[in-house]
Amino acid sequence: MTNFDAIVEHIQQITGHVFKEFNHSAISGGGINAAYHLSNQGHAYFVKLNTPDREAMFEAEAQGLNELAAMQCLRIPNVICFGQTPQHSYLVLEYIPCQSFDTSSSRLFGEQLAQLHQVEQPFFGWHIDNTIGSTPQYNPREHDWLHFWQQHRLQQQLTFLQQNGYGKQLQDKGQHLIESLPAFFEGYQAKPSLLHGDLWSGNAATDPNGKPIIYDPACYYGDRETDIAMTELFGGFSPAFYESYDANFPLDPGYSTRKILYNLYHILNHVNLFGGSYVNQADNMLDQLLAKT
């Protein structure tokens, strides 16, 4: 059974609120972390837990949330604290009751995400490394997006595939794709935007007032098309979201091909995390991309 006493003490130190006689209830949905709603009559918090060695993962997530919040484009859960106990590492956020998007909030989400992406950042990468799921994600500073995507996204996932014992076929196709990557960027110049980095439908919602919220980021500075591609990967968002985004920040015609390339990174990561059917999905995506080179 989880002991929340040390976490509650940390919350009290940071907030100055006396947080006694609290209740906790598990929240389902996360595949990497355990999540809880921690509350009493006056305050409520969202707590994520993992093993003690994962504190750096939560620190990077907290920094991503804080940087997204500083942009003042979308609602971001406030970071309360993060830390480590003998049993767990933890991240504590404000608790926001979440609701599904309707047409109006979907349009607002498209508009606000376009605002976030239009702020050009100074380089590709980020100031620290972080994780995508629980997989290390390396974010060295680069000024060449093609090289960044080749080496620090696709090549890194191929290295993990080899370490995890996945077949030579995926690795060979992936290496061939990496060598052919310039073909996908002819006539297109990516600019660095602050990315959520893991923007599927499970990491976005609205608050009770219909204000869009994003959370569980894997931030870095990169091509904004990668965020939009990820929104299409697991079910996608409503047409109103895409229409609004494109009206505020139109996508390049080559996006329809590059989105497969960008989503390949996430599917390769799912192979490394979960295996199973993702192996065939990655293989099919590689075939689609190689057919275009």
Catalytic residues: 198
DSSP tag of 41: S
Q: How far apart are the first and last CA of the chain?
A: 54
**Three-class SS state of 68:** helix
Instruction: Tell me whether strands 34-39 and 130-132 are parallel, antiparallel or unpaired.
Output: unpaired
Q: How many helices (H) and strands (E) does the chain have?
A: 10, 11
* Nearest alpha-carbon partner for 195 in 237, 264, 132: 132
What's the CA gap between 289 and 293, in Å, rounded?
Answer: 7
Point out which residues pair with 26 in neighbouring strands.
Answer: 36
Cβ atoms of residues 51 and 88 within 8 Å: yes
Token output for 6: 């040390």
Rounded Cα gap, residues 226 and 247, in angstroms? 18
Quick one: tokens of 192?
A: 């660095």
